[in-house]
Amino acid sequence: MTSILAPRFRPSTTVAAVIHREDPTGGPLQYLLVLEHTPEGLRLNNPAGHLEQGESPLQAVVREALEETARVFTPEAWLGCYLARFQRQRPGEPVEDVTYLRLAFSGTAGEADAVRALDDGIVDTLWLSREALRARRAEHRSPLLMRCIDDHAQGRLLPLAAVHSDPSVWTPEIRR
């Protein structure tokens, strides 16, 4: 039981797009990744970002994928809900301790819009096979990156209808 004085646990809710395509040269399935600046240096990640107030998880993942890849993402399945904890210690600062709650979706994306700029911090996008991505594990931003790719590759797909957003997300009920 938690003390009523203890702060409420508030994980950081994020969405992630596992974007896949057939390899144009006939090789294994490829996944679209972003290469982004982080405090730990350049890292690979799924196109991902924070769920914002007033949007559903599906709206958020489409928005985040567009911002980070300049491509329109079409969700096809829900991969699942993932949880990971991250700690970072910068010199002279307290330990940063964040738990991420990730809602991951798989699907496809159109061609990149050549005139659309990528989100701040995104250096590039690249298509990698699962094996090539696994070989670059030291560059992964999160352990959830490979887990989501592996779940997709193993066919762990759930219907999009399994993710429900109540209309109150867009039009909150005022309680008096």
Q: Is residue 148 part of a domain?
A: yes
Q: Is residue 107 part of a domain?
A: yes
pTM attached to this predicted model:
0.91
Task: Give the pLDDT of the chain (176 residues) as one tens digit per residue.
Answer: 556 777 888 899 999 999 999 988 999 999 999 999 998 899 999 999 999 999 999 999 999 999 999 999 999 999 999 999 999 888 898 998 999 999 999 999 999 999 999 999 999 999 999 999 999 999 999 999 999 999 999 999 999 999 999 999 999 888 88
For residues 60 and 52, give the distance between their C-alpha atoms in angstroms, rounded to a whole number.
7
Q: Is residue 126 part of a domain?
A: yes
What is the number of residues in the chain? Answer: 176
Distances, alpha carbon 70 to alpha carbons 64, 111, 118, 140, in Å: 9, 8, 6, 21
Contacts of 44 (CB under 8 A, 6+ apart): 33, 34, 35, 36, 128, 133, 136, 139, 140, 141, 145
Q: Is residue 82 part of a domain?
A: yes
Q: Is residue 91 part of a domain?
A: yes
Q: Is residue 116 part of a domain?
A: yes
The predicted pLDDT at position 67 comes to: 98
Tell me how far apart the 2 most distant CA atoms of the chain are, in Å. 62
The predicted pLDDT at position 1 comes to: 57
Q: Is residue 30 part of a domain?
A: yes
Q: Which amino acid is at 150?
A: D
Distances, alpha carbon 27 to alpha carbons 22, 24, 31, 127, 154, in Å: 8, 7, 12, 12, 17
Q: Which domain holds residue 150?
A: 12-159
Q: Is residue 166 part of a domain?
A: no
Q: Structural domain tally of the chain?
A: 1
CATH, residue 57 = 3.90.79.10
Residue 104's DSSP bridge partners are 16, 80
CB 142 within 8 A of CB 86: yes
